[in-house]
Amino acid sequence: MLELESLCKRLGLFTISDLNLRLNQGEYFVLLGPSGVGKTVLIEMVAGFMAPDAGRILCEGQDITTSPPEARDFAVVYQDYALFPHLTVAANVAYGLRARGVKSKQAAERVRDLTEKLNIAALLNRHTGALSGGEQQRVALARALAPRPRMLLLDEPLAAVDVGLRARLRHELRRIHQHTGTTFLHVTHDPDDALYLAERVGVMLGGHIRQIAAPEELFRAPSDADVAEFLGMRNIMTVDSASQGVCRAGGVEIHAALADESISHIWIKPEEILLSRQPFDSSARNQFRCMVEEWENSGPLLAVRISSGALRLTALVTYESFNKLGIDVGTELYCTFKSSAVHCF
Amino acid sequence: MSTVLGEARSYRLSWFALIFAALGSCVLLLIVAPLLALVLSSSLGELSQAAADAEVTQSIRLTLAAALAATIVCTLAGVPLSYVLARRKFFGKTALLAIIDLPIIIPHSAAGIALLTVIGRRSLLGSVTGGLMGSAAGIAVAMAFVSVPFLINAAHAGFLAVPERLEKAARSLGASPWRVFFTISLPMAWRDILSGMVLMWARGISEFGAVIIIAYHPMTTPVMVFQRFNDYGLAHARSVAVLLIIICVAIFVIVRFLARRPTQEAQNA
C-alpha cells in the first residue's frame, strides 16, 4: 500500500539512510525506536511536510514523493492531538470533510455517525479545551478518520498520557483499527504499544530499520543484541557454543531449555534470578557461586549486579530480601535460575 | 497563591514590596499625571467650543481617517509578511526583522525627509503621481511608515503563538495552504492582529514629526495642536489636544473590549 524506497534524509545530528519499508493494505504497522532516532522525521516525510534528500515514496504504486500533504490523503494524529482550539468538536471532526468539498449536510451526517461509534456524540458542541485526555484522543481520531483517508499516521499518540489511561487508549486504538480497516502507521518508543497493537513491527535504531517482524516473533527472536536490549530484554549474552538444552556463555555452562545449535544469544529476565546465601536443591538447573559487584534502586525493587567469572548478570530483589540476605558490595552469594528462564535467539 | 511580592493573603509589607511598588508608582505617575492634569485643566466650555470648531473637527476626521486608511492597507500587505516571518526560515530573516523595526528607531522628522525623497515632487514616484506632498494620501504614507512596525510585530507574535502542528494536521486532512491560513492561522491570531492594528492606528494618529514635513496642510490634529500653541498659546492648544485624547481613548477601550479573550468557562458554557 505504502512503499518507502531507499529514503535518505540528513537533518542536524542524525541521518536516515537507505530506509526501505512496505506497508500492506489495512495493516497496523508500528515503527518502534528510541526518541531522536528520526521516527518523527519519517512521519513528516510520509505526510509530505519534509522532502527526502533521496529515495521515493509510493502509495498504491503512485510516486507521491513530491505531492503536497493535502493531496496525499494521509491523516496525521499528533501526540498532543493538535485539536483546533477555536472550533467545536463537531467542527473539528468535520474539518477534513469540508476541506474536501463535502456539503455541510452530508458532513454533519458523517460526523454524527462517526462520533456515535466513538462515543463522543455528546461532546459535539463543546470546545476542545475542556476535554479529558481520552476524549481528546477520540476526537482526534474521529477528525482523522472522517474523510476516510488512505492511511492514518500516528506520531506517539500515547506518549503524553499517564500509564492507566494509556492502556485504555491502546485498547481503543485497536478497536478503531479493527473497525475501520484503514492502514495505520504508528510510531512510538514504547515496546508495549508494539506488542499490543501491531500486526507487524519495524524496529528503528540509528537511522535504519533493523528488523521487521510480527510482535511475537520480534520478542521471541530479536535480530541482534541492540534490538533485544531496546525491547527491554536484560542479561543479554553472546553464546560461544550451544547444543541441545545447553550453551556456553561468559565461560560458564548454562542450561537453557530451548537452546540448540542455531542460537547466538541468550537473555534472562532479572526477576527470574534467585539469590541465596547457601546453595540449595531444587528443580532449577542453573546455580552459580557469585559476588555482588554493585546495587541500585530500581523502582519498587533493587537491581543487584553479580558476577561469576566472566559472567555478569543483574538480578531484581525486594527490599526485604535485600536486607535479609545482608547484600553489600563484595557479598558472596549463590544465584539460581531455571533452564526455562533462559530465553534464546 | 503566593507571589514574588509577598503572600497575597496576609498582605505583609516587606522592604522588597515597598520599594518595588514605589518605583513602579513613579513610572505610572509619569504617564498619568500630565494626561490627568491636561484633562482636568480644560473646562467643558472650552471643549464644546473646540468640538464646534469646524477646523478642529475636520482635522480630527482627517487624522482618524488617514491613520485608518494607512492601517487597513498595511494590514492587507503586512499580515502575509508577518505569517511568512513566523513560519519560514530563510537567509537574512534576522536582518529583515531589524529592518522592520527601523522606523521605530530613527527620528521621525528624518523619516519625513526620507519619505520626501521617494514621494516628493521631484522623486521618481512623485513625477508619476504629481507628488503626495500636502495631500491626505501623503499624510497616510507618513503615518504608515512610522507605525507599521507595531502591526507587523504584533501579527508576527500572533502567528508564532499558533502551533505549527495545527496547520500540519489541517493540511493532512486535505486543506490547501489557503484554506489552512483562513480557517486555522488567521482565526487563531486575529486578536493579536487586531491589537496590532489598534496600536498602529493610534501611533499613526499621534504622528507629528514625519507628517509635518510631508504636509503642514491639510492639518492633522497633532500639527494643529502645535500650530495653535505657537500662534495662540496654551489654552487654545489644550482643548484640541484633550478632544483628540478623549476620542482615541474611547476607541481604544471599545476595541480592546471587543477583542478580549473569552475565559475558559465562557467557552464551554
Position B2 scores a pLDDT of 44
Separation between Cα atoms, residue A99 and residue B178, nearest integer Å: 11
Residues A163, A62: one domain?
yes
- Residues A268, A272, A275, A279: is their CA dihedral positive or negative? negative
The SS3 of residue A9 is strand
Q: Which domains does chain B have, with CATH numbers?
A: 44-260 (1.10.3720.10)
- Of the residues A205, A230, A255, which one is the last residue of a structural domain? A230
- CATH at A292: 2.40.50.100
Residues A132, A258: one domain?
no
Q: Which residue does chain A place closest to B264, by CA atoms? A: A129
Position B8 scores a pLDDT of 52
Does residue B269 register a pLDDT over 50? no
Q: Which residues of B touch A150 (CB under 8 A)?
A: none
Does residue B91 register a pLDDT over 90? yes
Could you give the percent of chain B with pLDDT greater than 70?
Answer: 92
Residue contact B267–A130, C-beta within 8 A:
yes
For residue B10, what pLDDT band results from cuts at 50, 70 and 90? low
For residue B268, what pLDDT band results from cuts at 50, 70 and 90? very low
Q: Which residues of A touch B170 (CB under 8 A)?
A: 84, 95, 99
Residue contact A72–B172, C-beta within 8 A:
yes
Q: Which residue does chain B place closest to A126, by CA atoms? A: B268
Residue contact A47–B172, C-beta within 8 A:
yes
Domain that holds residue A45: 2-230
Strand-pair category, A265-268 with A252-255: unpaired
One DSSP character per residue, A130-168 reads G--HHHHHHHHHHHHHTT--SEEEEESTTTTS-HHHHHH
pLDDT < 70 positions in chain A: none
**Number of domains, chain A:** 2
Alpha helices in chain B (DSSP H): 15-41, 44-52, 54-87, 93-105, 108-119, 124-129, 136-160, 164-172, 177-180, 186-206, 209-214, 221-232, 234-258, 264-268
Q: Tens digits of per-residue pLDDT, B122-145?
A: 777 777 777 788 899 999 999 999
Position B11 scores a pLDDT of 62
Residues A204, A90: one domain?
yes
Q: Which residue does chain B place closest to A74, by CA atoms? A: B172
Residue contact B172–A95, C-beta within 8 A:
no
Position A36 scores a pLDDT of 80
Residues A166, A50: one domain?
yes
Position B9 scores a pLDDT of 55
Alpha-carbon distance B178 to nearest alpha carbon in chain A (angstroms):
11
- Of the residues A230, A261, A290, which one is the last residue of a structural domain? A230
Q: Which residue does chain B place closest to A49, by CA atoms? A: B168
Does residue B1 register a pLDDT over 50? no
Asked if A28 reaches chain B (Cβ–Cβ under 8 Å), the answer is: no
Residues A110, A173: one domain?
yes
Asked if A185 reaches chain B (Cβ–Cβ under 8 Å), the answer is: no
Residue contact A99–B264, C-beta within 8 A:
no
Q: Tens digits of per-residue pLDDT, B67-78?
A: 999 999 999 999
Which residue, B175, B115, B26, B179, is CA-closest to A71? B175
Residue contact B172–A68, C-beta within 8 A:
no
Q: Which residues of B touch A136 (CB under 8 A)?
A: none
Position B39 scores a pLDDT of 86
Position A108 scores a pLDDT of 94
Q: Tens digits of per-residue pLDDT, A236-266?
A: 999 999 999 999 998 889 999 989 998 899 9
